[in-house]
Amino acid sequence: MPAGTWPEARKLPMLLSAAIAAETTSPLHSRHLLVKCAYISQTRGGGMAAVLRCMECGAEYSLGEIRYRCRCGGLLDVAHDLGSLRVSRELFEEREAGQGPEPWRRSGVWRFRELVLPVESQLIVSRPEGNTPLYRSAALARWVGLEDFSVKHEGENPTGSFKDRGMTVGITWAKALGAKAVACASTGNTAASMAAYAAMAGLKAIVFVPQGKVALGKIAQALAYGALTLEVEGDFDAAMSLVQESCRELGIYLLNSVNPFRIEGQKTIVFELIQDLGWDPPDWIVFPAGNLGNTAAFGKALWELRELGLIPRMPRLAAVQAAGANPLYRSYARGFAPLEPVRAETVATAIRIGNPVSFPRAVRSLRWTEGVVVEVTDQEIMDAKAVVDAAGIGCEPASAAAVAGARKLVSQGVIKRSERVVAVLTGNLLKDPEATVSYHAGKLQGIEPRFANRPRRIAPSLEAVAEALEEGRR
Ligand code: F0G
């Protein structure tokens, strides 16, 4: 398919709306014109400029081209002309107050818009997302072994995960490109987020999920928000290759994190986290790593902040993988050896990924930031989740991997007890009620429920209540 065109719609299945077919055969130049207008009106006067640039060979493409990879196969970055940007800490501080009727004015993504995507305001599809809390818990810090430990809760985004930050940008750009249908492969959160944002934008959403391996809350969201939900008989990696082929052949816009515009939105987790800390960067940022979109985004965010002089030094990144889904860890342990895909299995279904798409970008991020990769067992993940939950904060299993990883790195002496550490909690507790309830009931296979809080069934009498209280004290 030539870049910048929607392919023939001949293979489009009947179940996709006729509108998509109409779109794929409509004149190409009108779409380019729209993108050009959306973009150029921002560049005028502001001097903003951005291109798509291949991270492997440096080839450049215009932002309005519909392409996810370079001709050489390399992954693409949205490369901003940092020298021409007029941004400052003060500008972002001013915008934090977020006044005005449009949702994007209250968005923790679009506050940093010059560093995200130069696009006309009226095109922005925003919930609004971001502005997530940074929690501190003395009990949690003690358990991890640190004096200064906080968690940035991305599970408190509109659809309950960090994906909303990339999706507001991805859907906004899909609209600007004139797409009528968007698709993604997903372990659940991307699907939920894309389904919601697509519904708000009036786009058809198609999600490819691994059959039987998506947490209940996420599948419920995809269905409820009206996405065509395809349960692929295979794992996430199979769904991922199928969605890429489908988008190529059927003229659907791909919204996985291979899409560089998604990465631009996810960078704002780091921008906002550092703003939360008064622009005094922490020593470490610790986070779970699956398809490696966040690993890619966080490194790019830090590199740009430093280039712009907005931070004096870069924090180190610590990417945490589940031991049963650890291709990045394996590569890291062998001095960043080439990726060898694995067959993934973990209780943390969000990161049950064996062949991560953003691997080269992730390695770049880790090199830029003197980053490390650590693996944690399912037992360590569920222990950490129980502690995060019992602190009143709560998160889904994959997010708890970040806390388990921080604890492990402290115990290994990689993170010093005196260092300032922020862990990113990527998803909400309510995403995976099955994992939580099974854990507390002692029914999670292979996991010892060390911090179980079992429900107690009682007779409807005061004596039974008193007895249960007495038992609880023991
Ligand atoms: N945490 C949660 C809760 C996730 O949903 C994901 C990824 C990750 C961590 C890993 O982030 O892929 O950027 O390394 N979920 C994707 C999805 C794969 O389809 O929802 P990553």
Reported as a single tens digit per residue, the pLDDT across 125-164 is 999 999 999 999 999 999 999 999 999 999 999 999 999 9
Q: What is the pLDDT of residue 97?
A: 78
**DSSP secondary structure string for all residues of 248-292:** HHHT-EE-STTSHHHHHHHHHHHHHHHHHTTT---SEEEEE-SSS
The Cα–Cα gap between 57 and 356 comes to 21
The Cα–Cα gap between 397 and 387 comes to 11
CA of 186 to the centre of ligand 1 (A): 8
Residue 291 amino acid letter: N
Sign of CA dihedral 80, 86, 92, 97: negative
Respond yes or no on whether the N-terminal peptide bond of residue 13 is cis (omega within 30° of 0). no
CA of 348 to the centre of ligand 1 (A): 10
CA of 114 to the centre of ligand 1 (A): 25
Averaged over 239-265, what is the pLDDT?
96
Q: pLDDT grade, residue 470 (50/70/90)?
A: very high
Q: What percent of the chain stands above pLDDT 90?
A: 86
Q: What is the pLDDT of residue 24?
A: 38
Q: Which atom of ligand 1 is nearest to the CA of 399?
A: 1
The Cα–Cα gap between 278 and 79 comes to 26
Averaged over 422-426, what is the pLDDT?
99
The Cα–Cα gap between 185 and 232 comes to 9
The Cα–Cα gap between 163 and 257 comes to 10
Nearest protein CA to atom 7 of ligand 1, as residue = 350
Predicted confidence (pLDDT) at residue 26 exceeds the cutoff of 50: no
Q: Which atom of ligand 1 is nearest to the CA of 155?
A: 3
Predicted confidence (pLDDT) at residue 16 exceeds the cutoff of 80: no
Q: What is the pLDDT of residues 81-125, one digit of tens each?
A: 999 999 999 999 999 877 888 889 899 999 999 999 989 999 999
Averaged over 59-80, what is the pLDDT?
96
CA of 428 to the centre of ligand 1 (A): 12
The Cα–Cα gap between 93 and 295 comes to 26
Predicted confidence (pLDDT) at residue 34 exceeds the cutoff of 60: no
Averaged over 298-307, what is the pLDDT?
98
Q: What is the pLDDT of residue 5?
A: 52
> Is residue 107 within 6 Å of ligand 1 at its C-beta?
no
From 218, 259, 294, 351, the mutation candidate for ligand 1 (largest count of ligand atoms within 8 A of CB) is: 351
Q: pLDDT grade, residue 75 (50/70/90)?
A: very high
Other beta carbons less than 10 A from residue 312's beta carbon: 10
Q: What is the pLDDT of residue 44?
A: 36
Averaged over 435-440, what is the pLDDT?
98
Q: What are phi and psi of 423, to 5 degrees?
A: -105, 145
Helix, coil or strand: residue 129? coil
Q: pLDDT grade, residue 15 (50/70/90)?
A: very low
Output the six-digit token pair for 68.
């996810």
Output the six-digit token pair for 37.
């207008």
Q: What is the pLDDT of residue 472?
A: 81
Averaged over 346-365, what is the pLDDT?
98
Output the six-digit token pair for 67.
């392409």
Helix, coil or strand: residue 340? coil
Whole-structure pTM value: 0.92
CB distance 346 to 324 below 8 Å: yes
Closest of 226, 188, 233 to residue 206, by C-alpha: 226
HSE-up of residue 353 (Cα within 13 Å, Cβ side): 27
Q: What is the pLDDT of residue 99?
A: 80
Helix, coil or strand: residue 370? coil
Q: What is the pLDDT of residue 161?
A: 98
Q: What is the pLDDT of residue 265?
A: 98
Q: Which helix (H) or strand (E) holds 319?
A: strand 316-322
Nearest protein CA to atom 10 of ligand 1, as residue = 290
CB distance 278 to 134 below 8 Å: no
